[in-house]
Amino acid sequence: MKKNLFILLVLMSVQVFGQQKFGLGLKIGQNFSTVDNVSVDHNSASYHAGVTTYIGINSKFSIAVDAILSQTKLEASPSAADLIAHPSFKPETYHLNYLSIPLLLQFHPVKSFTFQAGPQYSVLLDQKKDGIENARVAFSSGEFSMVGGAKLDLGGFFIYGRYAIGLNNIGSTQQLLDDLKNQDSWKTRQWQLGVGLNLFNF
At residue 109, the pLDDT reads: 95
Closest CA to 158 of 117, 128, 116, 121: 116
Domains in the chain, please, with CATH?
2-201 (2.40.160.20)
| pLDDT above 80: residue 133 | no
- State the Cα–Cα distance between residues 110 and 69, nearest whole angstrom: 30
pTM above 0.75, yes or no: yes
Please give the backbone phi and psi of residue 44, each rounded to the nearest 5 degrees, phi first: -70, 130
Most confident among 5-19, 116-130, 144-158, 171-185 (mean pLDDT): 144-158
In tens, the pLDDT along 161-197 reads 999 998 887 776 544 555 445 544 678 889 999 999 9
- State the Cα–Cα distance between residues 143 and 197, nearest whole angstrom: 27
Where is pLDDT greater, at 73 or 110? 110
Where is pLDDT greater, at 128 or 39? 128
The confidence band for 132, taking pLDDT boundaries of 50, 70 and 90, is very low
Exposure class string for 109-126: b at 16+ Cβ within 10 A, else e: eeeeebebebbbbbebee
* CB atoms inside a 10 Å sphere around CB 94: 20
